[in-house]
Amino acid sequence: MLPALVGWVAAPESTVGWFSAVSLGSAIWFLGHGQSIGAGGVAVSMTPLLLLGVFVLITYRWARRLAATERLRVGSSDWSRVALRGVVPGFLVGYGLVAAVLALFTLGGPATPGVAAVIGSLLVPLAALGFVLVRPDDDEAPAFVRSWFRRGPTWLPAVWRVGWRGAGLLLAVGFAVVVLRLAMSWSAVADIQAQYDANLAGALVIGVGQLAILGNAATWALAFVAGPGFQVAVGSAIAPAAAHPGLLPLVPVLGALPRSSDYPPLMYAVLLVPVAVGAWLGHRVDAELEFFGNTRARLTATAVAALIAAGVVVALTALGNGAVGLDRLSSVGPALLPFGLALVAEVVAGALLLLGVLLLLERRRERAAQAGVTTAGSSDEGAPTAG
Does 366 score more than 50 pLDDT?
yes
Does 372 score more than 50 pLDDT?
yes
pLDDT for position 283: 95
| pTM score, whole prediction | 0.90
- CA gap 372, 149 in Å, rounded: 43
Please answer whether residues 49 and 328 qualify as being in contact, where contact means their C-beta atoms are separated by less than 8 angstroms. Answer: no
- pLDDT tens digits for range 56-100: 999 999 999 999 999 999 988 899 999 999 999 999 999 999 999
Does 123 score more than 50 pLDDT?
yes
- pLDDT tens digits for range 278-303: 999 999 999 998 888 889 999 999 99
C-alpha of 189 from chain center = 25
User: How many CB atoms are located within 10 Å of the residue 95 CB?
Assistant: 22
- CA gap 76, 89 in Å, rounded: 19
User: Could you tell me the strand order of the sheet in which 112-113 lies?
Assistant: 42-44, 37-39, 112-113
Amino acid symbol at 257? L
pLDDT for position 387: 42
Q: Which residues make Cβ contacts (< 8 Å) with residue 262, sequence separation at least 6? A: 241, 242
CA angle 136, 57, 274 (to 5 degrees): 70
- Three-state DSSP at 239 gives coil
Determine how β-strand 242-244 pairs with β-strand 42-44: unpaired
Q: Which residues make Cβ contacts (< 8 Å) with residue 95, sequence separation at least 6? A: 59, 121, 122, 124, 125
Give the long-range contacts of residues 246-253, CB within 8 A, separation 24 or more.
246/328, 247/328, 249/324, 249/325, 249/329, 250/192, 250/195, 251/192, 251/210, 252/189, 252/190, 252/192, 252/193, 252/196, 252/206, 252/210, 253/182, 253/189, 253/210, 253/213, 253/214, 253/217
Does 386 score more than 60 pLDDT?
no
134 — pLDDT class (breaks 50, 70, 90): very high
Does 380 score more than 70 pLDDT?
no
Average confidence score pLDDT of the chain: 89
Please answer whether residues 209 and 314 qualify as being in contact, where contact means their C-beta atoms are separated by less than 8 angstroms. Answer: no
Q: Which helix (H) or strand (E) holds 37?
A: strand 37-39
CA angle 45, 164, 357 (to 5 degrees): 125
- Three-state DSSP at 244 gives strand
Does 113 score more than 70 pLDDT?
yes
CA angle 26, 32, 38 (to 5 degrees): 60
| Range name among 184-198, 241-255, 326-340, 371-385 with the lowest pLDDT average | 371-385
Please answer whether residues 247 and 233 qualify as being in contact, where contact means their C-beta atoms are separated by less than 8 angstroms. Answer: yes
- pLDDT tens digits for range 22-62: 888 899 999 999 999 988 778 889 999 999 999 999 999 99
pLDDT for position 376: 63
Q: Which residues make Cβ contacts (< 8 Å) with residue 171, sequence separation at least 6? A: 218, 219, 222, 313, 316
